[in-house]
Homo-oligomer: A and B are copies of this chain.
Amino acid sequence: MSEAKRLATPVAPGGRIGILGGGQLGRMLALAAARLGLKTHIYSDERDAPAFQVAAEHTHGAYNDEAALAKFAAACDAITFEFENIPETAVSFLAARKPVNPNARALAPTQDRFAEKSLAISLGLKTAPFFAVNSADDAAEAFARLGRHGVMKTRRFGYDGKGQAKVASAEDASRAFLAFKYAPSILEGFVDFAFEASVIAARAGDGTFAAYDPPENFHEHHILRRSTVPGRLSAAQIDEAKSIAKKIGDALDYIGVFCVELFVTKSGELLVNEIAPRVHNSGHWTLEACLTSQFEQHIRAVAGWPLGSTKRHSDAVMENIIGEEAADWRTLAATGGALHLYGKSEIRPGRKMGHITWLKSG
């Protein structure tokens, strides 16, 4: 792997930020970059990617098309991405040409559930109990060691509940591993949490760190339904959540915005569930409740700008608009909340079509 490029000077207004991925996160990143006077170039393998509609330039290409990637890199001053499941080869290829952040080294541990949880443990953080599963025998043995029901998860490429199976017996565990087609997996002990939360944080190239107040999150069918800030976290838990994020950001020498999903147990412990190396659905409320949104914050970090304020001026509730719910856009437009629709041409079950944020005070 050739040396990764580092950003020597900030990308000045008029400069070009490349974004891999053209879904709603790429779209909201592009909108935030525009506000700062930066141009965006979206690269997506989707022909009609929503982010294309708001970017100065776009490339429709495969993530292994080196000619297209090289042309894209040449047209950008700094590059980032909207989702973590980009082929590492694409990231390395681009990083040899232009600064890519978060960089491949920071990205790797977050792309593998085992590495991710091992990192948390190595930093003195807590997680649910977990065991590596690389064979059907491992699966049965892991279940025996766990001694209670749990969740089998593939180590890589899972999102919104994909690549997950509940297991209540050693046989379940082995069966799940077969169903995952022998993909390296983990067995995780089921956590009877009080509620879920997350902390969205940013780290700049100079190590500056800033975290938003952690929202409480409510999932339905493995998809985020609602984030509420403030949630039920105590002041001490809010501080602890931010400190967890800081430890992880520093350990990864991370540049950009990331999210740490947390389980808050009934005894008040914060367990690290997942690390998402990107802007996150549970941070969408920052668009309305903070002067610097998570999207702008990420652009600032990857463009080498100073981080913005993460101060929250209002309480907020963010709710996702999923699948068919988007068909009722006239009603959604009249709720008094801030409506965001993602420009997706097709409504599909479970697809995130938009979100609404209401401010509760301020």
Give chain A's interface residues, CB within 8 Å of chain B. Answer: 10, 12-14, 27, 30-31, 34-37, 39, 52-56, 288, 291-292, 300, 305-306, 308-309, 313-314, 326, 329-330, 333-334, 336-343, 345, 354, 357-359, 362
Q: List chain B residues, Cβ under 8 A from A34.
A: 27, 31, 53-54, 343
Whether A54 contacts B31 in the complex (CB less than 8 A), given A291-B338, A336-B291, A362-B314, comes out as yes
Given the complex of chains A and B, what is the CA–CA distance between A337 and B359 in angstroms?
19
Given the complex of chains A and B, what is the CA–CA distance between A36 and B343 in angstroms?
8
Contact B291 A13 (CB under 8 A): no
Contact B313 A362 (CB under 8 A): yes
Q: List chain B residues, Cβ under 8 A from A354.
A: 37
Report the nearest B residue to A35, measured CB to CB. Answer: B340
Contact A53 B53 (CB under 8 A): no
- What 3 A-B pairs come out closest when comparing CB atoms? A37-B341, A313-B362, A362-B362
Contact B300 A333 (CB under 8 A): yes
Report the nearest B residue to A36, measured CB to CB. Answer: B341
Contact A313 B359 (CB under 8 A): yes
Min distance, Cβ A82 to any Cβ of chain B, angstroms: 16
Can you give 12 A-B contacts (C-beta < 8 A)?
A30-B54, A31-B35, A35-B340, A35-B341, A37-B329, A53-B56, A54-B56, A305-B333, A306-B330, A308-B336, A309-B336, A313-B362
Min distance, Cβ A329 to any Cβ of chain B, angstroms: 5
User: Beyond the given A306-B333, A309-B336, could you list 18 further A-B residue pairs with CB under 8 A, ordered by the A residue number?
Assistant: A13-B326, A14-B343, A27-B34, A31-B31, A31-B34, A35-B338, A35-B341, A37-B329, A37-B341, A39-B53, A54-B54, A54-B56, A291-B357, A305-B333, A306-B330, A308-B336, A313-B362, A314-B314
Contact A13 B362 (CB under 8 A): no
Report the nearest B residue to A345, measured CB to CB. Answer: B14
Total identical chains: 2
Whether A13 contacts B314 in the complex (CB less than 8 A), given A34-B54, A56-B54, comes out as no
Contact B330 A35 (CB under 8 A): no
Checking B308, B309, B359 against A291 with a beta-carbon cut-off of 8 angstroms, the contacting residue is B359
Given the complex of chains A and B, what is the CA–CA distance between A34 and B342 in angstroms?
8
Min distance, Cβ A209 to any Cβ of chain B, angstroms: 16
Checking B14, B291, B336 against A288 with a beta-carbon cut-off of 8 angstroms, the contacting residue is B291
Min distance, Cβ A4 to any Cβ of chain B, angstroms: 25
Report the nearest B residue to A342, measured CB to CB. Answer: B37
Min distance, Cβ A226 to any Cβ of chain B, angstroms: 17
Min distance, Cβ A32 to any Cβ of chain B, angstroms: 10
Which of A291, A334, A337 is packed against the most chain B CB atoms within 10 Å?
A291
Given the complex of chains A and B, what is the CA–CA distance between A55 and B27 in angstroms?
12
Q: List chain B residues, Cβ under 8 A from A333.
A: 36, 300, 305-306, 308
Min distance, Cβ A38 to any Cβ of chain B, angstroms: 8
Q: List chain B residues, Cβ under 8 A from A27.
A: 34
Given the complex of chains A and B, what is the CA–CA distance between A180 and B13 in angstroms?
38
Q: List chain B residues, Cβ under 8 A from A313.
A: 313-314, 359, 362
Contact A339 B31 (CB under 8 A): no
Contact A292 B338 (CB under 8 A): yes
Q: List chain B residues, Cβ under 8 A from A345.
A: 14
